[in-house]
Structure 1
Amino acid sequence: MSLRAWATPLVIGAFAIMALTGVLMFFHLDTATMKTVHEWAGLVMVAGALAHLLLNWRAFTTYFRRPLANAIMAAGVIVAGLTFVPNLIPGVVEGAGLGPEVVIRSLGNARIDVLADLAGKAPEALQAELKAAGYGDLALDQTVKSAAQGDGGVLRGILATALVPKAE
Protein backbone atom coordinates (compact mmCIF):
# COMPACT_ATOMS: atom_id res chain seq x y z
CA MET A 1 0.00 0.00 0.00
CA SER A 2 1.45 3.37 -0.99
CA LEU A 3 2.05 6.23 1.42
CA ARG A 4 -0.28 8.39 -0.66
CA ALA A 5 -3.17 5.94 -0.14
CA TRP A 6 -3.24 6.29 3.65
CA ALA A 7 -1.39 9.46 4.80
CA THR A 8 -4.08 12.09 4.18
CA PRO A 9 -7.04 9.88 5.20
CA LEU A 10 -5.17 9.09 8.44
CA VAL A 11 -4.71 12.80 9.17
CA ILE A 12 -8.38 13.48 8.41
CA GLY A 13 -9.60 10.62 10.64
CA ALA A 14 -7.28 11.54 13.52
CA PHE A 15 -8.27 15.20 13.18
CA ALA A 16 -11.97 14.30 13.40
CA ILE A 17 -11.35 12.33 16.61
CA MET A 18 -9.15 15.05 18.12
CA ALA A 19 -11.55 17.85 17.19
CA LEU A 20 -14.56 16.13 18.74
CA THR A 21 -12.80 14.93 21.89
CA GLY A 22 -10.93 18.22 22.27
CA VAL A 23 -14.10 20.30 22.15
CA LEU A 24 -15.89 17.96 24.57
CA MET A 25 -12.92 18.00 26.96
CA PHE A 26 -12.78 21.82 26.76
CA PHE A 27 -16.35 21.95 28.02
CA HIS A 28 -15.62 19.20 30.60
CA LEU A 29 -18.05 16.79 28.91
CA ASP A 30 -15.47 14.01 28.73
CA THR A 31 -15.85 10.38 29.67
CA ALA A 32 -13.40 8.05 31.37
CA THR A 33 -11.76 6.98 28.08
CA MET A 34 -11.90 10.26 26.15
CA LYS A 35 -8.55 11.69 27.31
CA THR A 36 -6.75 8.46 26.39
CA VAL A 37 -8.41 8.31 22.95
CA HIS A 38 -7.55 12.01 22.40
CA GLU A 39 -3.89 11.46 23.29
CA TRP A 40 -3.53 8.39 21.06
CA ALA A 41 -5.32 10.14 18.18
CA GLY A 42 -2.78 12.94 18.58
CA LEU A 43 0.10 10.50 18.12
CA VAL A 44 -1.63 8.94 15.11
CA MET A 45 -2.17 12.41 13.65
CA VAL A 46 1.53 13.25 14.05
CA ALA A 47 2.47 10.06 12.18
CA GLY A 48 -0.02 10.84 9.41
CA ALA A 49 1.07 14.48 9.21
CA LEU A 50 4.74 13.47 8.89
CA ALA A 51 3.85 11.05 6.08
CA HIS A 52 1.71 13.75 4.43
CA LEU A 53 4.58 16.24 4.76
CA LEU A 54 7.00 13.78 3.20
CA LEU A 55 4.66 13.27 0.25
CA ASN A 56 4.13 16.99 -0.25
CA TRP A 57 7.57 18.36 0.67
CA ARG A 58 8.00 20.52 -2.46
CA ALA A 59 4.59 22.19 -2.01
CA PHE A 60 5.27 22.63 1.72
CA THR A 61 8.52 24.53 1.11
CA THR A 62 6.66 27.13 -1.00
CA TYR A 63 4.96 28.33 2.18
CA PHE A 64 8.29 29.66 3.45
CA ARG A 65 8.19 32.26 0.65
CA ARG A 66 4.85 33.69 1.83
CA PRO A 67 4.89 36.29 4.64
CA LEU A 68 1.44 35.42 6.02
CA ALA A 69 2.25 31.70 6.05
CA ASN A 70 5.54 32.42 7.83
CA ALA A 71 3.76 34.56 10.44
CA ILE A 72 1.17 31.85 11.12
CA MET A 73 3.81 29.12 11.38
CA ALA A 74 6.00 31.31 13.63
CA ALA A 75 3.02 32.05 15.89
CA GLY A 76 2.35 28.32 16.20
CA VAL A 77 5.97 27.61 17.13
CA ILE A 78 5.99 30.47 19.69
CA VAL A 79 2.72 29.34 21.33
CA ALA A 80 3.98 25.74 21.45
CA GLY A 81 7.21 26.95 23.07
CA LEU A 82 5.36 29.07 25.62
CA THR A 83 3.52 26.00 26.90
CA PHE A 84 6.83 24.95 28.48
CA VAL A 85 7.02 28.14 30.57
CA PRO A 86 5.55 27.46 34.04
CA ASN A 87 3.21 30.01 35.60
CA LEU A 88 3.01 32.03 32.38
CA ILE A 89 -0.61 33.08 32.93
CA PRO A 90 -1.27 34.64 36.35
CA GLY A 91 -3.67 32.54 38.39
CA VAL A 92 -3.28 29.48 36.15
CA VAL A 93 -0.88 27.21 37.96
CA GLU A 94 -0.84 23.44 37.50
CA GLY A 95 -2.66 21.90 40.45
CA ALA A 96 -3.51 25.27 41.99
CA GLY A 97 -6.11 27.98 41.63
CA LEU A 98 -9.85 27.66 41.99
CA GLY A 99 -10.89 26.75 38.48
CA PRO A 100 -13.90 24.54 37.81
CA GLU A 101 -11.78 21.41 37.54
CA VAL A 102 -10.32 21.96 41.05
CA VAL A 103 -13.82 22.39 42.51
CA ILE A 104 -15.17 19.33 40.67
CA ARG A 105 -12.19 17.22 41.79
CA SER A 106 -12.68 18.34 45.40
CA LEU A 107 -16.41 17.66 45.33
CA GLY A 108 -15.69 14.29 43.75
CA ASN A 109 -13.70 13.36 46.85
CA ALA A 110 -16.64 14.23 49.12
CA ARG A 111 -18.86 11.53 50.59
CA ILE A 112 -22.54 11.54 49.61
CA ASP A 113 -23.58 12.64 53.13
CA VAL A 114 -21.09 15.55 53.00
CA LEU A 115 -22.38 16.50 49.54
CA ALA A 116 -25.90 16.54 51.02
CA ASP A 117 -24.71 18.98 53.72
CA LEU A 118 -23.13 21.19 51.06
CA ALA A 119 -26.40 21.13 49.09
CA GLY A 120 -28.45 21.91 52.20
CA LYS A 121 -30.34 18.63 51.95
CA ALA A 122 -30.91 15.76 54.33
CA PRO A 123 -28.51 12.91 53.44
CA GLU A 124 -31.34 10.41 52.98
CA ALA A 125 -33.25 12.87 50.76
CA LEU A 126 -30.22 13.30 48.50
CA GLN A 127 -29.71 9.54 48.47
CA ALA A 128 -33.32 9.09 47.26
CA GLU A 129 -32.95 11.91 44.72
CA LEU A 130 -29.81 10.30 43.24
CA LYS A 131 -31.55 6.92 43.05
CA ALA A 132 -34.53 8.51 41.27
CA ALA A 133 -32.08 10.16 38.83
CA GLY A 134 -30.73 6.73 37.91
CA TYR A 135 -27.52 6.59 39.93
CA GLY A 136 -28.51 3.50 41.91
CA ASP A 137 -28.35 2.76 45.63
CA LEU A 138 -25.43 4.89 46.79
CA ALA A 139 -24.13 4.52 50.32
CA LEU A 140 -23.96 7.72 52.36
CA ASP A 141 -20.29 7.04 53.20
CA GLN A 142 -19.43 6.46 49.53
CA THR A 143 -17.51 9.19 47.70
CA VAL A 144 -18.95 10.81 44.60
CA LYS A 145 -15.85 9.68 42.69
CA SER A 146 -16.33 6.03 43.64
CA ALA A 147 -20.02 6.26 42.75
CA ALA A 148 -19.08 7.61 39.28
CA GLN A 149 -16.64 4.73 38.72
CA GLY A 150 -14.21 6.88 36.73
CA ASP A 151 -16.81 8.40 34.39
CA GLY A 152 -16.52 12.21 34.40
CA GLY A 153 -19.99 12.62 32.94
CA VAL A 154 -21.56 10.55 35.72
CA LEU A 155 -19.56 12.46 38.35
CA ARG A 156 -20.83 15.80 37.03
CA GLY A 157 -24.35 14.38 36.79
CA ILE A 158 -24.31 13.38 40.45
CA LEU A 159 -22.98 16.81 41.41
CA ALA A 160 -25.60 18.56 39.27
CA THR A 161 -28.40 16.44 40.77
CA ALA A 162 -27.21 17.36 44.26
CA LEU A 163 -26.26 21.00 43.81
CA VAL A 164 -28.31 22.56 41.00
CA PRO A 165 -31.69 23.80 42.20
CA LYS A 166 -34.68 22.26 40.46
CA ALA A 167 -36.75 24.57 38.24
CA GLU A 168 -40.30 24.83 39.49
Structure 2
Amino acid sequence: MARKPLTLRGWATPLTMGSFFLMAGTGSLMFFWFGSGLLAVVHRWCSWIFLVAAGGHIAANVRPFKNHLKSGIGAASAATFLLFFGLSMWSWGLVTKPGLMKPVIATLADAPLDSLAALKREPPDTLVAILRQRGLARQRRSRCAISRCGMGSILKRSWE
Protein backbone atom coordinates (compact mmCIF):
# COMPACT_ATOMS: atom_id res chain seq x y z
CA MET A 1 0.00 0.00 0.00
CA ALA A 2 1.44 3.33 -1.08
CA ARG A 3 1.78 6.11 1.45
CA LYS A 4 -0.07 9.34 0.86
CA PRO A 5 2.19 12.28 0.10
CA LEU A 6 2.64 14.67 2.99
CA THR A 7 0.51 17.74 2.38
CA LEU A 8 0.93 21.23 3.78
CA ARG A 9 -2.12 20.76 6.00
CA GLY A 10 -0.86 17.31 6.99
CA TRP A 11 2.26 18.68 8.69
CA ALA A 12 1.41 22.32 9.46
CA THR A 13 -1.64 21.78 11.65
CA PRO A 14 -0.14 19.12 13.96
CA LEU A 15 3.13 21.03 14.20
CA THR A 16 1.22 24.22 15.04
CA MET A 17 -0.68 22.42 17.80
CA GLY A 18 2.41 20.80 19.31
CA SER A 19 4.56 23.92 19.17
CA PHE A 20 1.70 26.00 20.59
CA PHE A 21 1.52 23.68 23.61
CA LEU A 22 5.29 24.00 24.04
CA MET A 23 5.21 27.82 23.79
CA ALA A 24 2.21 28.05 26.13
CA GLY A 25 3.80 25.75 28.70
CA THR A 26 7.26 27.29 28.70
CA GLY A 27 5.87 30.82 28.53
CA SER A 28 3.53 30.22 31.47
CA LEU A 29 6.32 28.75 33.56
CA MET A 30 8.61 31.68 32.76
CA PHE A 31 5.85 34.20 33.54
CA PHE A 32 5.34 32.74 37.01
CA TRP A 33 9.10 32.22 37.56
CA PHE A 34 8.81 28.43 37.80
CA GLY A 35 11.37 26.07 36.40
CA SER A 36 14.96 26.57 35.48
CA GLY A 37 17.48 24.89 33.25
CA LEU A 38 16.90 25.37 29.56
CA LEU A 39 13.34 26.69 29.84
CA ALA A 40 14.04 30.14 28.38
CA VAL A 41 16.38 28.73 25.72
CA VAL A 42 13.78 26.18 24.61
CA HIS A 43 11.08 28.86 24.56
CA ARG A 44 13.23 31.28 22.57
CA TRP A 45 14.53 28.84 19.96
CA CYS A 46 11.47 26.63 19.55
CA SER A 47 9.38 29.72 18.88
CA TRP A 48 10.89 29.55 15.37
CA ILE A 49 9.25 26.16 14.93
CA PHE A 50 5.96 27.68 16.03
CA LEU A 51 6.34 30.54 13.52
CA VAL A 52 7.09 28.16 10.64
CA ALA A 53 4.20 25.90 11.64
CA ALA A 54 1.77 28.81 12.01
CA GLY A 55 2.85 30.19 8.64
CA GLY A 56 2.24 26.79 7.06
CA HIS A 57 -1.11 26.51 8.82
CA ILE A 58 -2.15 29.95 7.52
CA ALA A 59 -0.99 29.02 4.01
CA ALA A 60 -3.00 25.78 4.14
CA ASN A 61 -6.05 27.66 5.36
CA VAL A 62 -5.67 30.96 3.53
CA ARG A 63 -9.35 31.31 2.54
CA PRO A 64 -10.72 30.84 6.09
CA PHE A 65 -7.91 33.11 7.37
CA LYS A 66 -9.00 35.90 5.01
CA ASN A 67 -12.63 35.39 6.01
CA HIS A 68 -11.71 35.75 9.69
CA LEU A 69 -9.89 39.00 8.93
CA LYS A 70 -13.01 40.31 7.15
CA SER A 71 -15.14 39.80 10.24
CA GLY A 72 -15.27 42.55 12.85
CA ILE A 73 -13.81 40.50 15.67
CA GLY A 74 -11.07 39.07 13.43
CA ALA A 75 -10.01 42.50 12.19
CA ALA A 76 -10.19 44.00 15.70
CA SER A 77 -8.15 41.13 17.14
CA ALA A 78 -5.45 41.41 14.47
CA ALA A 79 -5.29 45.20 14.81
CA THR A 80 -5.13 45.05 18.62
CA PHE A 81 -2.28 42.57 18.72
CA LEU A 82 -0.36 44.36 15.96
CA LEU A 83 -0.73 47.54 18.02
CA PHE A 84 0.55 45.73 21.14
CA PHE A 85 3.47 44.41 19.12
CA GLY A 86 4.32 47.88 17.82
CA LEU A 87 4.05 49.49 21.25
CA SER A 88 6.24 46.81 22.81
CA MET A 89 9.19 48.04 20.75
CA TRP A 90 9.61 51.02 23.10
CA SER A 91 10.44 50.94 26.79
CA TRP A 92 8.44 54.11 27.52
CA GLY A 93 11.15 55.22 29.97
CA LEU A 94 10.98 52.03 32.01
CA VAL A 95 14.12 50.02 32.64
CA THR A 96 13.28 46.40 31.99
CA LYS A 97 15.25 43.32 33.02
CA PRO A 98 17.20 42.88 29.73
CA GLY A 99 17.93 46.60 29.57
CA LEU A 100 19.04 46.66 33.19
CA MET A 101 21.15 43.51 33.18
CA LYS A 102 23.54 44.57 30.40
CA PRO A 103 25.03 47.62 32.18
CA VAL A 104 25.09 45.79 35.52
CA ILE A 105 27.01 42.84 34.05
CA ALA A 106 29.34 45.19 32.15
CA THR A 107 30.10 47.10 35.36
CA LEU A 108 30.70 43.94 37.35
CA ALA A 109 32.83 42.46 34.58
CA ASP A 110 35.26 45.39 34.93
CA ALA A 111 35.26 45.36 38.74
CA PRO A 112 38.17 43.93 40.77
CA LEU A 113 37.66 40.41 42.07
CA ASP A 114 37.65 41.74 45.63
CA SER A 115 34.54 43.76 44.78
CA LEU A 116 32.78 40.78 43.23
CA ALA A 117 33.73 38.62 46.22
CA ALA A 118 32.13 41.18 48.54
CA LEU A 119 28.95 41.16 46.45
CA LYS A 120 28.78 37.37 46.49
CA ARG A 121 29.71 37.31 50.21
CA GLU A 122 32.56 34.92 49.55
CA PRO A 123 36.27 35.25 50.21
CA PRO A 124 38.27 36.47 47.21
CA ASP A 125 40.36 33.30 47.35
CA THR A 126 37.21 31.27 46.63
CA LEU A 127 36.69 33.18 43.38
CA VAL A 128 40.33 32.69 42.47
CA ALA A 129 39.80 28.95 43.07
CA ILE A 130 36.80 29.01 40.73
CA LEU A 131 38.95 30.66 38.07
CA ARG A 132 41.62 27.99 38.51
CA GLN A 133 39.06 25.17 38.31
CA ARG A 134 37.84 26.56 35.02
CA GLY A 135 41.34 26.73 33.62
CA LEU A 136 41.68 30.50 33.68
CA ALA A 137 45.02 32.08 34.41
CA ARG A 138 45.37 33.80 37.77
CA GLN A 139 46.38 37.40 37.84
CA ARG A 140 46.93 39.56 40.89
CA ARG A 141 43.63 39.41 42.71
CA SER A 142 43.24 43.08 43.63
CA ARG A 143 43.91 44.30 40.10
CA CYS A 144 42.24 41.56 38.13
CA ALA A 145 39.17 42.88 36.39
CA ILE A 146 36.69 40.10 35.92
CA SER A 147 36.54 40.58 32.14
CA ARG A 148 40.34 40.23 31.82
CA CYS A 149 40.48 37.14 34.06
CA GLY A 150 37.68 35.40 32.20
CA MET A 151 35.27 35.74 35.10
CA GLY A 152 32.80 37.69 32.94
CA SER A 153 31.41 34.52 31.38
CA ILE A 154 31.10 32.89 34.82
CA LEU A 155 29.33 35.97 36.14
CA LYS A 156 26.98 36.13 33.18
CA ARG A 157 25.95 32.48 33.55
CA SER A 158 25.32 32.92 37.28
CA TRP A 159 22.92 35.83 36.65
CA GLU A 160 20.88 34.22 33.86
TM over 0.5: yes
The answer to whether the 8 Å contact 1:14/1:45 transfers is yes
CA distance in 1, matches of 2:88, 2:78: 16
The answer to whether the 8 Å contact 2:16/2:50 transfers is yes
Structure 1 gaps of 5+ residues are 158-168
Equivalent position to 2:41, from 34, 42, 49: 34
Q: Percent identity?
A: 26
The one-letter code of the counterpart of 2:108 is: L
Q: TM-score, normalised to structure 2's length?
A: 0.58
The residue that corresponds to 2:117 in the other structure is 116
Instruction: Measure how far apart 1:53 and its partner are.
Output: 1.0
Structure 2 gaps of 5+ residues are 1-5
Q: 1:127 to 1:80 in 2, by over 3 A?
A: closer
CA distance in 1, matches of 2:22, 2:109: 28
| Runs of 4 or more consecutive aligned structure 1 residues displaced over 6 Å after TM superposition | none
The answer to whether the 8 Å contact 2:69/2:78 transfers is no
Q: Does 1:50 pair with 2:51? A: no
1:124-145 deviation per Cα after TM superposition (whole angstroms, max 9, x unaligned): 2x449x86xxx98365544532
Q: RMSD in angstroms over aligned alpha carbons?
A: 4.2
Q: TM-score, normalised to structure 1's length?
A: 0.56
CA distance in 2, matches of 1:136, 1:10: 46
